[in-house]
Amino acid sequence: MTDSAKPLARYSAWTRRGDFVFLSGIIAVDTSAGKVICGYDDLPENVAERIGRTGEFSVDAKDGPITAQSWYVLDRVRATIEEAGGSMGDVFKLVQYFRNLDHFPRYNTVRRMFFPDAPPVSTVVEVSAMMPSPEILIEVEATAWLGAR
């Protein structure tokens, strides 16, 4: 897996304007492997266990896709912000798009791992579809301010 987000088409993964960093929407696609993250098995073993894999098929089959995609997307946000010269503490705004708002509680549990202190201001929206595939359950945009350095 690569660390920072990579565009799937002709656009920038991020841009810096002054002290602000704007990230394009990030989805759970491992561009180096050419695959959508679909569950715990698509993550490093230590991550899957830490974010909630139980080893119970019925639980992991239901929770795994959104939990794994949530971790993957937020980890790409982290890596991309770091590539731009910042940290997760610099992120002040998230826009989160869900295929199903019922997934928000599992996403929110993972988000707390990336923002253990004050969470960023957030917008949460349910959408009918996301590119490139129906397997995509979440997309996250982030904005950071690096001026406090």
Predicted model pTM: 0.92
The band of 90, judged by pLDDT with boundaries at 50, 70 and 90, is very high
| 31-64 per-position pLDDT tens digit | 888 899 999 999 987 999 999 999 999 999 999 9
Question: Which architecture characterizes domain 14-145 according to CATH?
Answer: 2-Layer Sandwich (3.30)
Identify the residue with better confidence: 33 or 144: 144
Contacts of 79 (CB under 8 A, 6+ apart): 3, 4, 5
**pLDDT at residue 145, as a whole number:** 97
- Report the DSSP beta bridge partners of residue 29: 36
Q: Are strands 35-36 and 29-30 parallel, antiparallel or unpaired?
A: antiparallel
| 100-121 per-position pLDDT tens digit | 999 999 999 999 999 999 899 9
Whether 25 and 1 have beta carbons less than 8 Å apart is answered as no
